[in-house]
Structure 1
Amino acid sequence: MNHRNDKNIKATLTEKAAKVQQDLQESAGQAAQKARSKAEELAEQAHSKASHLTDQAKEMADDLAQHAKTEASATYDQHKKQAADQVDKIAGALHQSSQDLRTHIEEPIAHYADMAADQVEQISGYVRNKNLDDIIHNVRELVRKHPLLCMAAALMVGLFLVRFPKGTQR
């Protein structure tokens, strides 16, 4: 009987060990599932926060761009009258030069000086009457339609700006 009790005890212990093993496996499976669920939840929260921060950054960038545009427009408006007045002075000087040329019997050259003065006056009126958005739009259109002409003009202006100070120093 002792042998039978030993077998029963052994069987009972084996059953209990199997039950403990099964319980441990179930607990481990549940813990793994909870960990996966928590990881998915945290990943979703992180994605949501990142998306929110991205939206905030875009909004801030848009606000800054709008502020910069408003400031540039205000600065342009403050200085456009001065710029137009300076361009008018250039036109006046060209007209005066054409008159001086006429007194020295240089009519063909005087005619070209008057034409240049008229164009400069048109530029003055354009600067005086257009807002910054209109000018930017028109410049973009001009560059889009005539890129080589604009590059050549930019080169000429650059050369003039480099040479002009050297010429006035002599």
Structure 2
Amino acid sequence: MTKFLLAVHVLAAIVAIGPVTVAASLFPPTARKALAEPGEARHHLGLLHRICRIYAVVGVAVPVFGFATAQNMGVLGSAWLITSIVLTVLAAVVLAALVLPRQEAILEGVDAGTVGERATVRLAMVTGIFNLLWAVVTVLMIVRPGSTTGA
């Protein structure tokens, strides 16, 4: 059962978190392009934002299966796992409270002609923080410092 849960956890991370990190990273430069050349870039902005919103919801499966896997492996109290959980929660907060609302504001601003390039720079910064948090979680999941699970 542990192998099944781990496989679903890893697949969910690849399928859900991967698209969010890529789409969120592409959003700021696409927004700059939409500011310079309105038209097709605006359509791409909407698509990137939709990908981020939908896959953020699908991404809930990652910690759900992660907890089930950790419980099955008996590692719920491990420092590397607790750190990963804290960073995952922080990444979710950054996505929900900073990235997605700023994307929406930029979308509205592009439509109204009221957004500036500075907003895209700020969004790029918080998106980078979101991506960095996921990178650290990924490394912790692979390296598992102090783990006794044999990896």
TM-score (normalizing by structure 2): 0.38
Relative contact order higher in (CA < 8 Å, ≥ 6 apart): 2
The structure that is helix-richer by fraction is 1
Larger radius of gyration: 1
